[in-house]
Amino acid sequence: MPWTETRPMQRLDFIRACHAGTDSFSALCRLFGISRKTGYKWLQRFDPSDLSSLSDRSRAPCSHSRTVPDEVVGHLTALRQKHPDWGPKKLRMWLLNHHVDFTVPAASTVGDILKREGLVPDRKRKRRTPGNRRPLTSISENNQVWSADFKGRFRLLSREYCHPFTLTDNHSRYLLSCRGTDRESEPFVRHCLTEAFPGVRSAGRSENR
């Protein structure tokens, strides 16, 4: 019978059957409707002098931020205020390395304490403004509309970053200009556009503000 509603006596019957040795362990697990993993768990947990060892245990966490002594909370808050960039893991490791005379809670509990004490700033998500995907104007020939844009960045052999800037004709998709710079700046863009402006165009568009 499956242990959908397991009783300690059912588990005791399983333990006794295992100790009797008349059937294989796998066969007994099938008979009682449990997995081998569950069967081994109850065998290891069984204490002949204490039948409550076969009762269900609480699944509540052993450590909770609200059950941590005030002394420990005080040490954590003081250490966090002294080192505001330290996270729960680093704070916990510091306490362990300095052999404090109290039980150091788990990193997750330390994190809960920091949040409860208001020592974790809220991360405000930056709202992204969607780009304008509508056609700027109808394009029927070259040099009517150009697109200017920075194409991300990549690292050079010198370990410095390069930001490529491109200027493209929207009709022919011809690359009018491609320049690299160490940072995105308005003077650099203006210089690139000034060099290319002898070409006649009716409009220009860019997603960079």
pLDDT at 131: 59
Give residue for tokens 């680093």: 90
Arithmetic mean of pLDDT, 122-150: 73
* Residue % of the chain over a pLDDT of 90: 17
Backbone angles phi, psi at 73, to 5 degrees: -60, -40
**pLDDT tens for residues 46-56?**
787 777 777 76
Q: Is 165 exposed, middle or buried (0-12, 13-18, 19+ CB in 10 A)?
A: buried
Whether 155 has a pLDDT exceeding 50, the answer reads: yes
Pairing, β 203-206 against β 145-150: parallel
Q: Residue 105 half-sphere exposure, CB side, CA atoms within 13 Å? A: 25
Beta strands (DSSP E) in 5-160 are 145-150, 154-155
Whether residue 57 has pLDDT greater than 80: no
Look up residue 184 and give its amino acid. E
Please report which confidence band the pLDDT of residue 5 belongs to, taking 50, 70 and 90 as the band edges: very low
Q: Does residue 89 surpass a pLDDT of 90?
A: yes
Beta strand pairing call for 175-181 and 161-169 = antiparallel
| Contacts with 123 (C-beta within 8 Å, 6 or more apart), sequence order | none
Q: Is the pLDDT of residue 1 over 50?
A: no
Q: Is the pLDDT of residue 84 over 70?
A: yes
Q: What is the pLDDT of residue 47?
A: 80
Q: How far apart are CA 56 and CA 53, in angstroms?
A: 8
Least confident of 29-38, 85-94, 131-140: 131-140
Q: Where are the domains of the chain?
A: 8-54, 70-116, 145-206
189: its two tokens: 């863009």
Residues in the chain: 209
Residue linked to tokens 């109290």: 102
Across residues 50-78, what is the average pLDDT? Answer: 74
**Cα 77 from Cα 84, distance rounded (Å):** 10
pLDDT tens track for 116-126: 988 888 776 66
For the residues 161-177, what does the mean pLDDT come to?
89
Give residue-wise pLDDT tens across range 9-23: 788 888 888 888 888
Q: 52 Cβ partners below 8 Å, 6+ apart? A: 8
When mean pLDDT is compared across 67-71, 95-99, 134-138, the lowest value belongs to 134-138
For 70-116, CATH gives: 1.10.10
Q: What angle do CA 192, 194, 195 make, to 5 degrees?
A: 65
**Taking the complete model, does pTM exceed 0.85, yes or no?**
no
96 pLDDT higher than 90: no
